[in-house]
Amino acid sequence: MNVQPVKKRQEDVNYSTLANAIRFLSADAVEKAKSGHPGMPLGMADVATVLFQDYLKFSPKHPNWLNRDRFILSAGHGSMLLYSLLYLTGYKDITLDEIKNFRQLDAKTAGHPEHGYAAGIEITTGPLGQGISSAVGFALAERIMNAEFPDLFDHKTYVIASDGDLMEGVTQEAISLAGHWRLKNLVVLYDDNSISIDGDTNLAFTDDTQRRFESCHWEILTIDGHNVEEIQAALARAQQANRPILIRCKTRIAEGAPTKVGTSSSHGSPLGSDEIRGMRENLKWAYEPFEVPTDILEPWRAAGTRGDQIASEWIKRYDSHADSREINRRRSQALPKSVNDAFKSVILGYLDMPVSKATRQLSQDVLERIASLMPELIGGSADLTGSNNTKAKPQRIINRDNFAGNYIHYGVREHGMAAVMNGLSLYGGFRPYGGTFLIFSDYLRPSLRLSALMEQPVIYVLTHDSIGLGEDGPTHQPIEQLASLRAMPNLNVFRPADGIETAECWQIALQSHDRPSIFALTRQNVRQVRLKDTKESLSAKGGYIVWGDSDKRDVTLIATGSEVGLAVDVAELLSTQNIHAVVVSMPCTRLFDEQTEDYRQQTLGTVPRFAIEAASSYSWYKYVGDNGHIFGIDTFGASAPAPQLYDKFGLTVDKISTEILRRVKG
């Protein structure tokens, strides 16, 4: 389906006047808030006006129309540009009162755009580089949908990005992927104003931007960002592009301000009442703050209605389409019954025939069973597919010649991978997961944090989760990562102990609709500790008694992952010394914390508690209490075979049981 851009230029429209409505709404809102970034909205007002007036395919009446163009303000500090556009074009969520309440408590017009606050805000931006990088995920999502449903999906993703966006390292990872995939539906409008917070960008940024993007297989155009004809010509060319396109818009920051135009002082501070007064005189804007006269507002509202008919016709055709029900299921994130049946079958299989494998392999076993049942499941790895065990046999590779797949080779681009997954998730209808080593979660953490902040159920498969990886040494052995990740709000960190817990944790993650999940998985084999069918997902409780009699206990051992089997071995040895131990497996501390107080107390008991985890002890103090002890690691690791390392750090049956006996028996 070849849908033409929503283009209908009105000869009587004065684009400069329309752009000035953006400028003054932005300047007045920042001034009223006494906080904000007015320079970028003033500088990019002309580009944004042409885009929304002539090219962007959108409809405020149908804000979630699936085949709309996506507009992403990567330069999120210039949020008033987006809020002004949403108000002017008629999005109901952004009223004039919301504009006046910019940056105030509970306003939809937050300091940086936040997804979920209002229709028209496709993604939370502000951390530079994230918007443009996640936009690659949006564009990729459209290409995948177009490959499967070519008569339904055919749209573009437009991005406004700043110098700061291009300086961030994640951007290079993302633009490299976009060019490699030849994402012809991705259009980046680069606000090339040569100004950063500290001053002229020459202070630290002298890249040859054109050659940089060209080397990544992008098409480059350079225009005067204040010349309507040049803007229109560049956007017209973008409609015919056969690869991603960067439009360098040479602009002046704070365009229209009499003394602050082109200065760094306009970037992140209000212009001041005198400057705005002079700006009104300069631009002949004879209106009060927040006033947009009817003869200017009407053309803007007309632009907002221009896509209504196209949207209505598409929605009508979609509703009667043979595939709409399946697409709706994917977007609702409802799991097919066959997937839940597959999980049950996997668990029963482990109960019938217990296995000793690494949890990364057990995770792949799950994927082999569910991948063909979930077309929306999009896997991938940052050049560690064989180590992460993230690819199931039925999965097909996505590449620039064939987007009809469901597995992505991201290359060594952990941060870019996470940002792309956010874009896939926000687009809707996909359940992305991606793999790397747990230690490299530090490389992707900013995008992971946005997954949690935006309530996106992205799944991170992070293997080689402890000193158990052995000889690769302390550079690859995660110590503080688990504690650090558990501290992040709205994130489930799963460290399963065996095949049954691994299957349960995958099912929990896929049933979660509003939070991301991490799987911390082992390189080394683990023993199966769950041997009885409980008819319920015990992992869903976050922690539970996996071994021992809760009515007759002297100590409680709390462990996760590979250390659960170790804790059972310790408990068995303690029993020979007439010490009755209960072993609590805690695959997800956050889910355990969300249980009732009674359940938590019954599970942990009132006897001395001992936590065992081959990682930082930091996150365990809340569970062991004053009378307990933590067997953990609070230094970096070392290079040696895993058994030697566990012995070195005191994580053996003999050393743990000896210390427990000393503490209990005195």
Cα dist. 330→264, 334, 373 in Å? 46, 7, 12
3-state DSSP call for residue 461?
strand
Cα separation of 660 and 631, whole Å?
10
Cα separation of 563 and 218, whole Å?
49
For residue 340, what is the enclosing H or E element?
A: helix 337-352
Could you tell me the sign of the dihedral formed by the alpha carbons of 290, 295, 296, 300, in that order? positive
Cα dist. 122→134, 159, 321 in Å? 10, 11, 26
Could you tell me the sign of the dihedral formed by the alpha carbons of 403, 406, 411, 413, in that order? positive
Whether 504 sits among the annotated catalytic residues: the reply is no
284: left (phi over 0), alpha (psi -120 to 50) or beta: left
Cα dist. 463→18, 113, 364, 590, 616 in Å? 53, 33, 12, 20, 17
Cα separation of 498 and 347, whole Å?
11
3-state DSSP call for residue 364?
helix
Contact between 303 and 89 (Cβ < 8 Å): yes
Contacts of 233 (CB under 8 A, 6+ apart): 223
440: left (phi over 0), alpha (psi -120 to 50) or beta: alpha
Task: State the amino acid at position 43 in one-letter form.
Answer: G
Q: Please name which of 529, 469, 471, 473 lies closest in space to residue 496, comparing C-alpha atoms.
A: 529
DSSP strand pairing (186-192 vs 407-409): unpaired
Contacts of 532 (CB under 8 A, 6+ apart): 351
Cα separation of 568 and 583, whole Å?
6
Token pair, residue 163, equals 């110098």
Token pair, residue 372, equals 């063909």
Cα separation of 420 and 155, whole Å?
18
DSSP state of 622: H
Cα dist. 482→381, 518, 560, 626, 631 in Å? 20, 10, 11, 22, 15
DSSP state of 620: G
Cα dist. 448→19, 455, 475 in Å? 36, 11, 21
Task: State the amino acid at position 522 in one-letter form.
Answer: T
- Compute φ and ψ for 508, nearest 5 degrees: -60, -45
Question: Which of 275, 414, 504, 613 is an active site residue?
Answer: 414
For residue 120, what is the enclosing H or E element?
A: none
Cα separation of 285 and 552, whole Å?
81
Catalytic residue ranges: 414
